[in-house]
Structure 1
């Protein structure tokens, strides 16, 4: 077993792995260095919001932090309010409270059991993995550990191609919306806000700013102009033919075949959501069966449709968005953005509407990039990942979805897996595809803890 382990990343994935390690009975105490990077340990960006308008898109009953206790979040919330149901979609900030409480409890138990946990509220600047350990550099300090785990979550978004430097410098083009939402003050001006992207991030941005800026108008541009699908108000019954569907897909790992059998299954089901949800426990293993060419075909042609269906809005969120559209405060556009420039009046986007060949322009007071998770390590400005990539210690997966790794989370270099360098969560999207939500992260944490503590 590895007794001295470094966990790099202070969000939900890092907190879940830390707590999982501290839950286990071990013969000797552990020494864990948790580099949280500042902020509140456990909450990260995903659950750092304090707004109750930002709603989880998974029901409360499925959001427990531990694989052994998937109902833990519901139990925590029912202690605060017994009327809460397992089918409810609750605010993300409440889930952040739960993560904080569970992490604090794990740390308290660790102390009583003799474990040494060092919380370092800074980033790791550099890292040198070797076969017998990993050396970490942070400021003037150097630390040697037996194993290290990257639990970095999503990366800071990069501006889209075509956005000029003047627009970025002006602050009128925003790549990371969460600080803007936290700092936005009530304002009655008739702001004209443009969003690029129309997924769950865009939905959060619109709902928050629409409440704080009651006279603002929002326009969202995306390739297809479609909002995420909506969860049913009540939980769907399990798809009764799920075992047969999964077996059929395993027998024919071909994306065209998969789309065909999915359409057939949906046509013969009472609720298409149950078909999609039945694949969730198997998505990662199915993804690994797909040949490279079929993965590429899926990402080019079907990814947008899958993510619309898979990452759905809570019913109350969909109702609020529908109301804004009915009031005329939210408009959706289909097309491709070509560029953004600063003007005397604000910012101007150049785009080509779907089905046309001529460029159009759109003027706004503010443009917010809301294109979803960024996990491409090839062009990131993240200091540690840049260093690891430059020195050849890690490599990108073939599609730029994260870090190349084995399904167990061991990071690859020169065709071989490091024996003591791992990742968990979003950075494994290229290997596992389904790797960003708590039901998957808690399972990864459990399995990784097994590896780290194995004799």
Structure 2
């Protein structure tokens, strides 16, 4: 087994891997350095919110941190409130509490087992993977480890093309909505707020700001003007395991054919959600069948549709969104942002309309970029990823979906994979596609922990 391991990143994926490693019965003590990037909490961006309006998009019974303890989160939640059911959509704040508790338990277990664990609330400056180990550099400290794991989550969002420096400097264009929400204060002014993007991040922004700013109105702009679909009020199980559909897709790995097969399957079921959910365990293997040309076709033409049916919102959240629309406070528009600049004390936007209908202009008091996760290693300003890319230690996924890697998570440099340098979570989206939700991350953590504690080859 690896004796010295470094985990780089402070979110849920890092916490899951840390706990998987420390709660195992190991033949010898482990030396583990956990670089959390700041603070000691594993909440990360996803579960760092303190607002009870921000709910999990997966039912409580499916949100355990451990594959071997499938009801872990539900048990935790019910200890605080016995009325909670496994079908409930609970606050993400509560899930952050659960992560904190599990990490603390793992650290206490590690101390009793004689493991040497250092929780380092710092960002890593550089990583140098080599054939027989990895060097992790923080400030003046160089630490040589047997294996290192990148678990940094999504990359910092970058302003969209067409946003001027003046707009960014004005403070009225927000690229990081979560940091903005954490410091937002009540405001009764009749503000006009424009959201660029209509996915789950936009929904969370609307939930919070519509309550804090009761007189504000919101314009939400996206390519198709559609919000994520809702979950059903009652949990539903797939009518079958989806094997027939999946086998048909395997035989014809082309996006156009897959769309046709999915439409046929949906037409034969009472609810389309059962078809989508039956595919979840098979998505990585199906994604692996697609050549880059077909993956690019999916990203151009079908990604938006898949995301809104795959990553759904709780029904009570959908009800809130509908109430905002019915009250005239939320307006959804189709279009693409072309330009944003300062116009007096407001921002001026140019929106390109679909189907060649020209450009619409509008002014706003505030523009918030809510386009979802950033995984483009090629254009990121993240210091560690830039160092790794500049030095040729990682290769970017050609479609901007994280880093090139093997399906086991070994990071690639060119056509070769480092033997002792791994990634987990969002950075593996290019190789696995589904690699951001807890059900996928906990399985990755378990599999990676298995590899790290096996005999080194």
What TM-score, normalized to structure 1? Answer: 0.99
Please tell me whether residue 384 in structure 1 is matched to residue 387 in structure 2.
no
Please tell me whether residue 50 in structure 1 is matched to residue 50 in structure 2.
yes
How far apart in 1 are the matches of 2:5 and 2:241? 43
How far apart in 1 are the matches of 2:257 and 2:363? 44
Task: Find the counterpart in structure 2 of residue 393 from structure 1.
Answer: 393
How far apart in 1 are the matches of 2:230 and 2:10? 31
How far apart in 1 are the matches of 2:375 and 2:226? 23
Task: Find the counterpart in structure 2 of residue 430 from structure 1.
Answer: 430
Q: Deviations over 1:404-455 (max 9, x none)?
A: 0000000011211100000000000000000000000000000000111111
How far apart in 1 are the matches of 2:88 and 2:126? 42
How far apart in 1 are the matches of 2:359 and 2:255? 34
Please state whether the residue corresponding to 1:355 is helix, strand or coil.
helix
Please tell me whether residue 104 in structure 1 is matched to residue 104 in structure 2.
yes
Please state whether the residue corresponding to 2:348 is helix, strand or coil.
strand
How far apart in 2 are the matches of 1:349 and 1:141? 47
Please tell me whether residue 163 in structure 1 is matched to residue 134 in structure 2.
no
Please tell me whether residue 303 in structure 1 is matched to residue 308 in structure 2.
no
Task: Find the counterpart in structure 2 of residue 445 from structure 1.
Answer: 445
How far apart in 1 are the matches of 2:70 and 2:161? 41
Q: Is the 8 A contact 2:340 2:350 kept in 1?
A: yes
How far apart in 2 are the matches of 1:220 and 1:341? 18
Please state whether the residue corresponding to 2:355 is helix, strand or coil.
coil
How far apart in 2 are the matches of 1:40 and 1:137? 19
Cα displacement (A) at 1:270: 1.1
Task: Find the counterpart in structure 2 of residue 208 from structure 1.
Answer: 208
Please state whether the residue corresponding to 1:198 is helix, strand or coil.
coil
Cα displacement (A) at 1:50: 0.3
Task: Report 1:74-93 matches (<5 A).
Answer: 74-93=74-93
Stretches of structure 2 that go unaligned for 5 or more consecutive residues are none
How far apart in 2 are the matches of 1:309 and 1:140? 48
Please tell me whether residue 317 in structure 1 is matched to residue 289 in structure 2.
no
How far apart in 1 are the matches of 2:374 and 2:262? 28
- Paired positions, count: 455
Q: Deviations over 1:297-349 (max 9, x none)?
A: 11111010000100111001000010000000000110111010011131111
Q: Deviations over 1:117-173 (max 9, x none)?
A: 100101000111001011111011111101000000011100000000011011100
How far apart in 2 are the matches of 1:392 and 1:385? 10
Please tell me whether residue 266 in structure 1 is matched to residue 266 in structure 2.
yes
How far apart in 2 are the matches of 1:32 and 1:216? 49
Cα displacement (A) at 1:379: 0.7
How far apart in 2 are the matches of 1:433 and 1:73? 25
Task: Find the counterpart in structure 1 of residue 188 from structure 2.
Answer: 188
Cα RMSD, aligned residues only = 0.9
Stretches of structure 1 that go unaligned for 5 or more consecutive residues are none
Cα displacement (A) at 1:241: 5.5
Q: 1:40–1:317: structure 2 CA closer, same or farther, 3 Å change rule? A: farther
Please state whether the residue corresponding to 2:128 is helix, strand or coil.
strand
Runs of 4+ in 1 over 6 A off after TM superposition: none
Task: Report 1:283-294 matches (<5 A).
Answer: 283-294=283-294
Please tell me whether residue 363 in structure 1 is matched to residue 367 in structure 2.
no
Cα displacement (A) at 1:377: 0.6
Please tell me whether residue 224 in structure 1 is matched to residue 224 in structure 2.
yes
Task: Find the counterpart in structure 1 of residue 411 from structure 2.
Answer: 411
What TM-score, normalized to structure 2? Answer: 0.98
